[in-house]
Chain A
Amino acid sequence: MAIKADPKAAHVAQEFVHDAPLITCRFDPMGRFVFATAEDRAILRWDLATSQKTVFTAHDSWVGALAFTPDGTTLVSGGYDDTLIWWSATAEKPAPLRKVKAHAGWIRALAVSKDGKYLASAGNDRVVKLWNLADGAPVREFPGHDRDVYSLLFHPSGQFLLSGDLKGQVHQWEIATGKLARKFEGKDLHSYNGGQGVDFGGVRSLALTPDGKQLLAAGLHKATNPLGAIHEPIALRFEWDTAKLVKTHISEDVKQGVLWRTMTHPDGPLIGCSGGGNGGFLLFWTADAEKPFHKFSLGNTAREMDLHPDGVQIATAHYDKKLRLTKLSPKPAAPAAVPAKKA
């Protein structure tokens, strides 16, 4: 029987440990494994049933993004070495199946279409690219962002690809034609600090509500000191039909926070993973509320998040080299102590 998620019962149920700080994490679509990447260029896989750890490397830099075929058998990694690598996600010792020199700069985001036909990639060269997921053949390019692209999302209709950039702009592309259909203006997600001479922020994550009627774009705001990590997490909620901003979700008590990832839970709440100087948090909002109804402390700065297909487990990647599995369900009761036998 499926467990219903209860955010207020969140607890860290398990920790997996590596030798280097972690960067990103994803469950495979079948929910059998959790994958992570680390600052030693490694990709890590933990079997959730056995906790067995497998480490594999092939990139010439850190790996910023992971994506899967819908059946979970193939993993694609996108690196800061401009390269896409295809792997068998389930092999005992995964080895590269294919390498594609895909971009002229970091690959920051990957996405796979719902039908498993396409892979999208994007990053520092500002060009969104579409690939045939099965064989890595290039399909189309979508130039037009004027700064680094941070996030990607396929619309479940299969018609559109969404990409978010450093300036807070979300571009909606027609997959069939390559045309830019429209933009969502997320200017609250970007700021320019004249004293420090830096652009900061960006659309760190994109998500759609299960009914497809609303788009979420997440990142940070109130960046009074970008170089000193003074900023707060924020998610913008847009109406899909009109591209109008209908709600802003914040958490004012998470100083030095940024929403690295946001996802809409099938049961409704918006979940955000924030990392920062005060540590890492899972934040939970209802669709109509500005402030979260629950904030769960993860104990260490979090850098990425994913939701298990069961809707109850959340994986977070941390600076302290740990991947934490948080369960949105009550802790199981401790087994009763067996009284010692009298001699």
Chain B
Amino acid sequence: MNCNYACGSSEHDIHRRQFLGTLAAGTGAVVGGLGLFAQPAFAEQMAKQQKRMLVINMHGGLSQLESWDPKPGTTTGGPFRAIPTSVPGVHISELLPHTAKQMHHLALVRGLNTKNDDHGKGTYMMLTGRRQMPGQDYPQIGAVVSRALDSNARSLPGHILITPGGGGGRSADSAYLGPKYASIVLGNGNPPQNTTLPANLTAAAAAQQEELRRLANDRFLSRRRTAQTDAYTQSYEAAQELMRQREAFDLTKESPKDHERYGTHDFGRHCLMARRLLEKGVTFVQISHSNYDTHNENFNFHFEQLGEFDRPFATLMQDLYDRGMLESTLVVVLSEFGRTPNINQYYGRDHWGRAWSVCLGGGGIARGAVIGKTNDKGTEVTEREADAGHLFHTYLKALGLNSKGHFDLGGRQVLMADPAFAPIKELLA
């Protein structure tokens, strides 16, 4: 997209000697981008007031029958039993004994019907609140929340994904909201790539280089400022801030006791990293747990996977509460669909978008609520059917946003969420 700002001309050729010859004059002005750094006291105040969101993406299709909506003793229930939780009358699978003790901080939506059994489409709709359409791309929830809630005073990126593997970098999940709100990926929870100075460059030399760069930038931008140069400036300054705040991503700064409480396996570490980032003011963090696509030996694998998920998740919820962060942090545990009530020949369950569940908690959510019901075998929703679009609206509303509102993108009004849906009011505190 070419967007010409002050000069109004399409001139882009620069004579290098002419440009460099004028550098000596300089301007000393900072144009655009994240040039401001918050004072510590102001940052602390912002941190206490800000809303945050944490998404835990259970990749592959978490079985609702082995988690949030068990049906023990039925032809579809499988072998696992249901256990009581800290909310009287609410039972979840015996595979989640620690989470059961945190139920008073959580809520369940059991009536999801997204009518989709495809991994890609399911992930898309659960993270954007929209159906995937050809020729149209929508921003994921992290980009929307970051765009709506971040301020320029915040110095850390507002949209961070912690993935099980991968090398990190930046995703293209912000669509028309622009690269500023695209996620930064921490592959396996490692710090962002390329955030340390090269060994042969001292801090003093780097500072001098930076000053020269700023002078050159300011000179250039005073005559040719476009959307692309803004994006470049923002990206560059965001990267510099990441380097300055590299310690925010250093999990060794957390206590050995906390490492032990969360567990030293990947998911445990990622939960601890999520707590750290949320505490430092990151607006949106998403972590993943993989994989739940259990067409084969569903019960063995859910025993293994939820056994890994349960304690760190419960620990994270308790820590958010103990640190006074839970009221301002929306927590969502989602997947791309559920799993079939029917048990196949391999003791597996297959893709199922017709009657499944998600779990929410924290800020803005009615604690202990159970919204929606399925029939005794879990084959149909019988009460308060909901879609991914309803959930998306609910997330925004829980964060104090007007989910029917819009973003102003260069004069164009773009709705934050799909207008065909509305928040699930019973789910809101």
Chain A interface residues toward B at CB < 8 A: 20-21, 39-41, 60-62, 80-81, 106, 124, 148, 194-200, 226-229, 256, 275-277, 300-301, 319
Q: Is the CB of B295 within 8 A of A41?
A: no
Quote the shortest CB–CB distance from B43 to chain A (angstroms): 36
Residues of chain B contacted by A148 (CB below 8 angstroms):
300, 303
| Complex CA distance for A124 and B73, rounded to whole angstroms | 20
Which residue of B72, B165, B296 contacts A227 across the interface (Cβ within 8 Å)? B296
Question: Closest A-chain residue to B348, C-beta based?
Answer: A229
Counting residue pairs across A and B whose Cβ atoms lie within 8 Å, the total is 68
Q: Given A40-B75, A80-B79, A229-B296, are A277 and B304 also a contact pair (CB < 8 Å)?
A: no
Within 271-309 of B, Cβ neighbours of A (below 8 Å) are at 289-291, 293-297, 300-301, 303-305
Q: Is the CB of A62 within 8 A of B79?
A: yes
Question: Closest B-chain residue to A225, C-beta based?
Answer: B296
Within 142-193 of B, Cβ neighbours of A (below 8 Å) are at 164-165
| Complex CA distance for A270 and B385, rounded to whole angstroms | 54
Q: Is the CB of A275 within 8 A of B75?
A: no
Q: What string of 1s and 0s marks CB contacts (under 8 Å) between B339-365 and chain A?
A: 000010110100000000000000000
Residues of chain A contacted by B79 (CB below 8 angstroms):
39, 61-62, 80, 106
Q: Is the CB of B81 within 8 A of A60?
A: yes
The interface on chain B, measured as residues whose beta carbon lies within 8 A of the other chain's beta carbons, has a size of 27
B80 within 8 A of A: yes
Q: What are 5 A-B contacts defined by CB distance under 8 Å?
A: A41-B73, A226-B297, A227-B301, A277-B346, A319-B345
Q: What string of 1s and 0s marks CB contacts (under 8 Å) between B35-74 and chain A?
A: 0000000000000000000000000100000000000110
Q: Is the CB of A21 within 8 A of B303?
A: no
**Binding site secondary structure of chain B:** loop
Residues of chain B contacted by A228 (CB below 8 angstroms):
293, 295-296
Q: Given A106-B79, A227-B294, A229-B296, are A198 and B305 also a contact pair (CB < 8 Å)?
A: yes
Within 287-343 of B, Cβ neighbours of A (below 8 Å) are at 289-291, 293-297, 300-301, 303-305, 343
Residues of chain A contacted by B165 (CB below 8 angstroms):
194
Residues of chain A contacted by B81 (CB below 8 angstroms):
60-61, 81
| Complex CA distance for A145 and B60, rounded to whole angstroms | 29
| Complex CA distance for A124 and B307, rounded to whole angstroms | 11
Which residue of B75, B289, B300 contacts A20 across the interface (Cβ within 8 Å)? B75
| Complex CA distance for A228 and B60, rounded to whole angstroms | 12
| Complex CA distance for A197 and B60, rounded to whole angstroms | 11
Residues of chain B contacted by A226 (CB below 8 angstroms):
296-297, 301
Q: Is the CB of B305 within 8 A of A227?
A: no
Q: Is the CB of A39 within 8 A of B75?
A: yes
Given contacts A61-B80, A124-B303, 8 further A-B contacts (CB under 8 A): A39-B75, A106-B79, A197-B305, A226-B296, A227-B296, A228-B296, A229-B296, A301-B345
Quote the shortest CB–CB distance from A196 to chain B (angstroms): 4
Residues of chain A contacted by B73 (CB below 8 angstroms):
41
| Complex CA distance for A229 and B79, rounded to whole angstroms | 20
Q: Is the CB of B75 within 8 A of A198?
A: no
Q: Is the CB of B346 within 8 A of A196?
A: no
